[in-house]
Structure 1
Amino acid sequence: MSAGLTAGVVAAVVLTACGSGAEDDGTVSIVASTNVWGSIASAVAGPEVEVTSIISDPAADPHSFETSATDTAKISDADLVVFNGGHYDEFIEKAIAGRDKRTVEAFAERPDKNDDNEHVWYDVSTVAAVADRIASQLGEIDATNAAGYTERATTFKNQLIGVSTITGTIATQHPNAPVAQSEPLAHYLLLAATAQDKTPHEFQEAIEQETDPAPAAVAATRDLISGKQVKALIYNVQTQDKITQDLRATAQAAGIPVVEVTETLPEGVDYVQWQTANAKALAAALR
């Protein structure tokens, strides 16, 4: 075999390897870090685009999640990667490091760059910006269907207005309502409702970092609830431990409503349905 022919064969093999993946059949593929961002991507992308979420298991913690070889391959082959950012789902950042990948990072889309709470999927303004960004990226990948992506993003953003209407009503009817949180998961939901999170920062920070809060922080948080200084307890059911379970029991004993929140989508609902239910639950608790 001549050197020129050998080089041609090698080049063909390289091109084949680079082109492998979902895009081989013309299908555009998106990989999302969690099913939350997967649901949002699906709403914009439509049925023709293949959307895969790496995390959909409620027991999985995005902070400490480690990708498998299969996960890494999916991320590598995706035409677009949608992730949270803000050090929340660092497994994605590790997987795309050094790669030339199209990405949409939600944390970078938040309107208030001074707010460093990473749970931006509870902020409908950020989510609306992410929807636009996804539509824009898909339009560049698949120009033929760009108008469809833009139209679906607009439809999705119009649906988000329903969530904002509920939180706006809370803000009007129960302005500055005091609440407590087991950790700062629903931060942006509370901001939209103008609810005041009275939980000691030391308590929330420790729970989020999976360390034991100082006894003084635990006592102060418990006193907020047992003393009925708050109207509701916002409770993350996906990161429960003895301390937070005790906090919930204290709330129930004091007659303080408990609003359950999660980090991933419950089974059988999409993003808009989920956030609508969360906003309604908060409204009911403060009523």
Structure 2
Amino acid sequence: MFERAKKVTAPLAGLVVPLLAVSACGGADEAAPADGGGLRVVASTNVWGDVVRAVGGDAVEVTSIIDDVNVDPHSYESSPAEAAEVADADLVIYNGGGYDAFMENLVANTDAPVIQAVRTAEDGAEEGEERPAPAQGGEEEHAGHEDGAEGGDHAHDGEEHGDEAGHGEEHGDEAGHGDEGGDPHAGHDHSGNEHIWYDVHAVHDVAEAVSAELGELVPDQAEAIDGRAQDLGSELEGIEERIAAVSEAHSGDEVLSFDPIPQYLLEEGGLDDLAPEEFLTALEAGNDPPASAVADVQDLIDEGEPRVVLHNPQTESGVTRQLRERAEGNGIPVVEISELVPADTDYATWMGGQVDALAEALES
């Protein structure tokens, strides 16, 4: 268990997957592969690291700075070794929106292209009809971080940090990954909720941006990279279809979430989260919710209001454990969700499994 507000400093080894090989960067037009044969890619968490790995295949060597479920990206403090890895990377990807704020200083010191997932998703949304972002506990804390996003398809550090990183001139005109024909996956406004990996539309947009960047870095492998991106896109579209089936069968059904992370999934599934805002706000900050909010949640459970409870065992506290046990005692199905991709699986399998578990619970 971790408290989201807790300061955590990682040791130099242990939280960093030892996949990076040390080698000099190539020229500006084409990156030189790492000694292990792949481009050096650094991701803030294993969610985005897995997306890069799925798209890049053998063309990449991926390091995910955070892949431990006990570490909170909101308050993580990076090490000098991780700063060096980012500085030497061929491509960097992070979430943005305040979720992994430790990356802001790191990407300011790399000349590599940088994909910021929140801005990439927002740029995709600009191409389609925007829908309101679901309310969640961190809205006040993180709202407005990405308000200055301009119309490119992904964020480079030069756009976010100004000229200090030197990315604007080199990469600022490389946008346009996906402009052709519009984006069928656009829709959500991501400015108020940074947990965008629970929006499969957004992950699809990010995967396409990754494919475009990798294709530019290693043009001789661009066709294979694009093929893997399309394969991943097909998997994600399958998950979207399963979410749409949930919406068709259960639109308006009431659920109760003990964590703000699945709000995009719940919105897309047409489900109404009964969790009080002050309840989620406190949990997002790593605090116990106010007694009044806990009492309201207890009443909802005792009255059998939610069809399903969503519980994150990775962030379980004494309060949420007691509430989970109360729900189980009242015969309410509990679906486990998680913040990071568990070991020995991949993003599509993990997210698809959570959608299937939710659908099954709603049918029970």
* Correspondence 1:35-114 to 2 at 5 A: 35-110=46-121, 111=125, 112-113=188-189
Once the two structures are superposed, what CA deviation does each residue of 1:109-149 show, in whole Å capped at 9, x if it has no partner?
22233551111001110000000100111112112212222
In 2, Cα distance between equivalents of 1:171 and 1:24: 45
Pick the aligned partner of 2:344 from 268, 274, 277. 268
Amino acid in structure 2 at the alignment position of 1:186: P
CA contact (8 A) 1:34 1:83 kept: yes
The residue that corresponds to 1:230 in the other structure is 306
1:156 to 203, 228, 232: 232
- Total equivalences in the alignment: 272
In 2, Cα distance between the equivalents of 1:75 and 1:166? 37
Give the Å deviation of 1:22. 7.9
Paired amino acid for 2:66: I
Q: 1:193 aligns with which of 256, 259, 269?
A: 269
Deviations 1:189-209 (A, max 9, x none): 111211111110000010010
Q: Name the SS of the counterpart of 1:272 in structure 2.
A: helix
Q: Which ranges of structure 1 fall in alignment gaps of 5 or more residues?
A: 1-16
Indicate the SS of the match to 2:335: strand
RMSD: 2.0
Report which of the two structures shows the higher radius of gyration computed on alpha carbons: 1
Matches within 5 A, 1:155-194: 155-194=231-270
Task: Select the residue among 40, 55, 71 that pairs with 1:29.
Answer: 40
User: Structure 1 residue aligned with 2:195, among 91, 95, 119?
Assistant: 119
**Contact 2:190–2:196, Cα closer than 8 Å, also in 1:** no
Q: Which has the larger displacement, 34-43 or 113-122?
A: 113-122
Q: Distance in 1 between matches of 2:41 and 2:197?
A: 18
User: How much does 1:24 deviate?
Assistant: 5.4
Bigger share in helix: 1
CA apart distance, 1:280: 0.5
The aligned amino acid for 2:214 is L
CA contact (8 A) 2:86 2:110 kept: no
SS of the residue corresponding to residue 46 of structure 1 reads: helix
Report the AA paired with residue 362 of structure 2.
L
Structure 1 residue 215: deviation in Å?
A: 1.2
Amino acid at match of 1:269: T
Runs (4 or more) in structure 1 with deviation over 3 Å come to 17-27, 98-101
With structure 2 as the length reference, what TM-score do the two structures score? 0.71
- CA separation in 2, counterparts of 1:109 and 1:190? 21
Does residue 129 in structure 1 map to residue 205 in structure 2? yes
Which residue matches 1:247?
A: 323
Q: In structure 2, how many angstroms separate the alpha carbons of the residues matched to 1:280 and 1:239?
A: 22
- Using the size of structure 1 for normalisation, the TM-score is 0.89
Match of 1:209 among 280, 285, 289: 285
Measured in 2, the distance between the counterparts of 1:249 and 1:29 equals: 45
Structure 2 residue matching 1:128: 3-state secondary structure: helix
Question: Residues 198 and 145 of structure 1: is their aligned pair in 2 closer, same or farther, counting only changes over 3 Å?
Answer: same
- Distance in 2 of aligned mates of 1:101 and 1:283: 41
Q: 3-state DSSP class of the match of 2:314?
A: coil
Identity %: 39
Letter in 1 for 2:42: V
| Residues 39 and 270 in structure 1, CA contact (< 8 A), matched pair in contact too | yes
Contact 1:75/1:95 (8 A) holds in 2: yes
